[in-house]
């Protein structure tokens, strides 16, 4: 297992990270579940949200919850990475739903890991499509296309 720790900031201290991870373990980490936990005035998350309904409604607080989740970082081998990602999870009833999950759990789950890699390839393809007109960037564009083809071939073999 990779050596990792969560990065703390002025806003995201260890207590906040622990509360976020507790929601993930108890209910599944969604913006809605995080917001529900933060409604308790004694909870460390409470003051990280705008509670004035004159200024904001539930939609704004959900946005704040998503932004808060996205601010959690981990440090792996001196590199700062996103600590939590959004993936589709298959539920016990066979349905699926999107949840935020800690990156170390995703990397240990083949399906969720593939989702993140596919998302990364998609982002790179978008970038490649925007920049393939530049001769100087053609080696990068070619590498992106080769990597995508190689991964798709690998994933097809696993399906068989």
Query: Is the pLDDT at 125 greater than 70, yes or no?
Result: yes
The residue from 108, 125, 152 where one domain ends is 108
Domains contained in the chain, number: 2
Residues 36 and 80 in one domain: yes
Residues 73 and 149 in one domain: no
- The span from the CA of 39 to the CA of 46, in Å, is 6
Query: Is the pLDDT at 24 greater than 80, yes or no?
Result: yes
| CA quadruple 113, 118, 120, 122: dihedral, nearest 10 | -170
**Lowest mean pLDDT segment, chosen from 9-18, 32-41, 89-98:** 89-98
Residues 39 and 80 in one domain: yes
Domain span at residue 39?
1-108
Residues 55 and 73 in one domain: yes
Residues 93 and 115 in one domain: no
Residues 103 and 151 in one domain: no
pTM: 0.67
């Amino acid at each position: 297992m990779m050596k990792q720790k969560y990065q703390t900031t002025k806003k995201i201290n260890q207590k906040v990270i622990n509360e976020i991870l507790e929601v993930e373990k108890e209910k599944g980490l969604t913006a809605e579940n995080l917001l529900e936990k933060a409604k308790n005035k004694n909870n460390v998350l409470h003051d990280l949200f705008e509670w004035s309904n004159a200024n904001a409604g539930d939609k704004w607080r959900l946005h704040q919850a998503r932004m808060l989740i996205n601010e959690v970082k981990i440090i792996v081998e001196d590199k700062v990475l996103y600590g939590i990602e959004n993936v589709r999870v298959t539920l016990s009833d066979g349905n699926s739903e999107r949840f935020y999950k800690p990156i170390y759990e995703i990397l240990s789950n083949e399906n969720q890991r593939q989702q993140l890699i596919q998302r990364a390839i998609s982002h790179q393809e978008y970038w490649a499509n925007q920049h393939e007109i530049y001769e100087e960037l053609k080696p990068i564009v070619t590498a992106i296309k080769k990597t995508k083809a190689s991964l798709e071939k690998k994933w097809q073999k696993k399906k068989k």
